Structures are given as structure tokens and as C-alpha cells.
């Protein structure tokens, strides 16, 4: 969805200026179509922190292997964000759900920063089906109230949730060149009841030019095949997969999750459910930190726009490669787009 209708241009006859005078309203206009592709780019240093001192000269954009001329270059809050926050409300989310809601509320306030924010966010949940709890808004109080009222219980249809969010919300969020489209999904990556496949969900994400960030919430100590799914979603769309529970537990209780039976009855964590893999208070902070990491990335992104050399609107998929001319950095961006007219 990269084609954008530009303003009309006045026809120029090529005559001297004095001979071109005409009565008001008599100018002839010719519609001109200009393709503008917006590419949000995250650049991180070796510590995983955003690199914020790059200039346009540090970037190169290739489409299908061919260099493209950069048309505009921003860093920070432009273009505004359109974010979908998708929370797993299935039975498997019950144990950690209260803290997830609190962490999600902090994320909302970080991204919207008051009702004057140009960013907008919608809230979606999924269990056996998916539901839009709150449509796009820039009001953090309204979103937070809806988040705190959520309850867990039901089946699990993750792929349908991704598919629906991209098709019904992101496609209708404005022109791709005018905003950055992001889904933040908190889940264990398991799917049991979707009508759509993972491939179909990712295809819809590509068509809607949506980047997916995933946060794994499976308890430490369990083998979880869903982690691979979360990684695939993120890598295929230019986002990131974060697993706050993934660090091996030890004497440092500031990271990861508790494993089965790691802490005995004499521990200060008695009563927090160590024997069943439930979060400890200290380790729950990792989820909030992961969401804060995402908010930092999104507010410090670079946004590079270009008009592709191949300006045909033929529905084909175009691969994008972003090259940053600085050593030792990690670069993430959407992998491509479909050259189809904006609906």
C-alpha cells in the first residue's frame, strides 16, 4: 500500500510569463501520481540502545537491489505512530495477567504522553476470538481504564488476531507514508483455534506495512514452541521479539522468571508461586522494562522516504534493504511492501 495521490499540478504551456496570464479559475490541472514509500528504521548500538546522531548521508536505501534517492528524512516523532496493543486473554495468561495489564498501562502513557499526542493506539484482545476493546485514540486514560478492566479466560486464536488487526485497523489508519504502523503483541505464541494460518497473518502484515513487536510471556522452565512463532513474526516484519522471562534464573532475582522449585520455603519469595513458575515481584519488572524498550525504540526511530524508480502500481512485492554507513550497529526496518494503490 505505497501509492499516494499527490496534489494536482498546473499545466505549463511553455510561453513567456506575460503571455500565460489567464482569468481566475481558468487554469487547467493535470493529476499526477507520485509513489512515496516510508521506511521506519531502528538503529541500535552494541548495548541495544538507539543510535540518535545519524544523518541522511549515513543511510542508503535499495529496492529490489537498486539504489533509491532519499526524498525525506526524519528522526523521532514524525510520522506519527498508529499502534495496536494486542493482549493474550486466554487461560494460559491468567497467572501473570494482572501485572501485564499494569505494564501495558505504563506503555500506553509512554507512547501517548497526554491527549495532545499525534500518536494513536487501539486495544485488542484475543482468546477463542479477537475483540477490539478500544478503537484508535490518543487518550491514555481511556485506554488504561479498558486495560485494567480486562479478564483472562478462553481459547487461543493468535493468528486471527494479527490478521484482523492488520486488515481491519491498519489498512484504515491513513496513508502508509503518513504514519508508522506497529503491533505490540503480548503472548506465549501458542495458537489453537485460528481460522487463518501464520503465513496468512504475516502476508496481511506485509500488505498493510505493519511492523510487529512481540513479548513472550511463557513462564521460565517450560519448553515453549511458541517462542519460534514470536521470533518469526518480528523478524518477518522488521520488529523485535523480546523474552523478559528467558534469562536463566540464579541468585540475581532482577532478571527472568522463577523456575520450578528453585526457591525454597525459607526464601523471601515464599508465597509468590516459585514451585509453579509464577513471576516473582522482581522478575515481573522485566516485562515493564521490555515495553519501555519498545517505546524508546519507536520514539527514536529514523524515517526515510523515497519515490521508487520503479513507479508501476502493479501489485508486486518490492524488497527493501536499508544500509547504514556506520560499523557495529544493528539495523531493523520493514523488509518490503506491495506496490498497490491505497484503498
* Rg of the chain on CA atoms, in Å: 23
Q: Within this chain, do residues 121 and 55 fall inside the same structural domain, yes or no?
A: no
Residue 343 has pLDDT above 90, yes or no: no
The label of the residue with cell 519501555 reads 292
- Per residue in 281-336, pLDDT (tens digit) is 555 677 888 999 999 999 999 999 999 999 888 889 999 999 999 999 999 999 99
H or E element that contains 123: strand 120-126
- Determine, yes or no, domain membership for 192: yes
pTM of the model: 0.79
Whether residue 234 is found in the same domain as residue 317: no
Among residues 151, 165, 220, which one has the least CA distance to residue 188?
220
Residues 179 and 289 in one domain: yes
Specify whether 241 is located in the same domain as 325. no
Domain of 257, in residue numbers: 81-299
Within this chain, do residues 210 and 126 fall inside the same structural domain, yes or no? yes
Note whether 41 and 54 are within 8 A (CB): no
**Phi/psi of residue 133, nearest 5 degrees:** -85, -35
235 inside domain? yes
Average predicted confidence (pLDDT) for the chain: 80
| CA atoms within 13 Å, Cβ hemisphere of 277 | 14
Residue 3 belongs to a domain: no
CATH of the domain at 291: 3.40.50.410
Spell out where 127-273 has E strands. 130-137, 180-187, 210-216, 241-242
Higher-confidence residue of 254 and 100: namely 100
Does residue 135 form part of some domain? yes
138 in any annotated domain: yes
Q: Are residues 107 and 231 in the same domain?
A: yes
Task: Judge whether 162 and 86 are in contact, CB under 8 Å.
Answer: yes
Q: Look up residue 131 and give its three cell numbers.
A: 475483540
State the pLDDT at residue 26.
Answer: 42
DSSP 291-329: HHHHHHHHHT-EEEEE--S----S--EEEEEEEESSTT-
In the prediction, which pLDDT does 36 show?
83
Residue 30: exposure state from Cβ atoms within 10 A (0-12, 13-18, ≥19): exposed
Number of domains in the chain: 2
Contact 308, 301 (CB under 8 A): no
Using CA atoms, how far residue 324 sits from 61, 91, 149, in Å, is: 9, 43, 44
Establish if 189 belongs to a structural domain.
Answer: yes
Same domain, 166 and 294: yes
Select from 224, 220, 209 the least CA-distant residue to 318.
209
Residue 12 lies in a domain: no
Where residue 13 falls among pLDDT bands split at 50, 70, 90? Answer: very low
Kindly report which listed range (220-224, 237-241, 255-259, 321-325) carries the lowest average pLDDT score.
255-259
| 8: in domain | no
Residues 255 and 294 in one domain: yes
Distances (CA, A) of 79 to 9, 69, 120, 177, 178: 25, 19, 12, 8, 6
Among the ranges 108-117, 142-151, 281-290, which has the highest mean pLDDT value? 142-151
Residues 128 and 195 in one domain: yes
Cell of 295: 517505546
Based on the domain organization, do 213 and 318 belong to the same domain?
no
Q: Are residues 151 and 236 in the same domain?
A: yes
Residues 6+ apart with CB under 8 A from 270: 263
Same domain, 162 and 65: no
Amino acid at each position: 500500500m505505497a501509492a499516494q495521490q499527490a496534489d494536482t499540478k498546473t499545466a505549463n504551456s511553455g510561453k513567456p510569463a506575460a503571455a500565460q496570464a489567464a482569468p481566475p479559475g481558468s487554469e487547467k490541472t493535470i493529476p499526477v501520481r507520485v509513489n512515496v514509500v516510508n521506511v521506519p528504521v531502528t538503529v541500535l548500538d552494541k548495548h541495544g540502545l538507539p543510535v540518535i546522531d545519524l544523518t541522511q548521508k549515513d543511510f542508503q536505501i535499495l529496492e529490489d537491489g537498486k539504489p533509491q534517492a532519499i526524498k525525506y528524512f526524519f528522526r523521532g516523532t514524525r510520522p506519527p505512530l498508529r499502534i495496536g496493543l494486542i493482549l493474550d486473554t486466554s487461560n494460559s495468561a491468567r497467572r501473570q495477567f494482572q501485572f501485564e495489564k499494569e505494564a501495558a498501562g505504563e506503555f500506553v502513557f509512554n507512547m501517548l504522553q497526554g491527549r495532545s499526542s499525534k500518536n494513536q493506539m487501539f486495544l485488542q484482545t484475543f482468546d477463542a476470538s479477537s475483540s477490539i476493546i478500544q478503537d484508535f485514540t490518543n487518550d491514555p486514560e481511556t485506554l488504561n481504564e479498558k486495560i485494567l478492566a480486562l479478564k483472562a479466560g478462553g481459547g487461543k486464536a493468535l493468528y486471527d488476531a494479527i490478521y484482523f488487526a492488520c486488515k481491519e485497523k491498519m489498512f484504515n489508519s491513513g496513508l502508509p507514508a503518513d504514519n508508522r504502523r506497529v503491533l505490540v503483541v503480548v503472548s506465549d505464541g501458542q495458537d489453537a483455534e485460528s481460522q487463518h494460518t501464520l503465513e496468512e497473518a504475516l502476508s496481511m502484515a506485509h500488505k498493510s506495512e505493519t511492523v510487529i513487536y512481540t513479548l513472550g510471556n511463557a513462564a521460565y522452565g517450560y519448553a515453549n514452541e511458541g517462542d519460534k512463532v514470536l521470533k518469526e513474526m518480528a523478524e518477518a516484519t522488521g520488529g523485535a521479539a523480546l523474552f523478559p522471562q528467558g534469562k536463566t534464573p540464579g541468585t540475581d532475582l532482577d532478571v527472568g522468571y522463577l523456575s520450578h522449585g528453585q526457591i525454597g520455603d525459607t526464601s523471601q519469595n515464599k508465597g509468590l508461586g516459585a514451585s509453579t513458575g509464577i513471576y516473582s515481584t522482581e522478575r515481573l519488572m522485566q516485562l515493564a522494562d521490555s515495553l519501555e524498550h519498545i517505546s524508546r525504540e519507536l520514539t527514536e526511530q529514523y524515517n526515510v522516504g523515497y519515490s521508487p524508480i520503479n513507479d508501476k502500481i502493479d501489485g508486486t512485492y518490492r524488497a527493501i534493504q536499508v544500509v547504514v554507513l556506520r560499523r557495529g550497529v544493528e539495523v531493523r526496518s520493514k523488509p518490503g511492501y506491495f506496490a498497490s494503490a491505497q484503498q
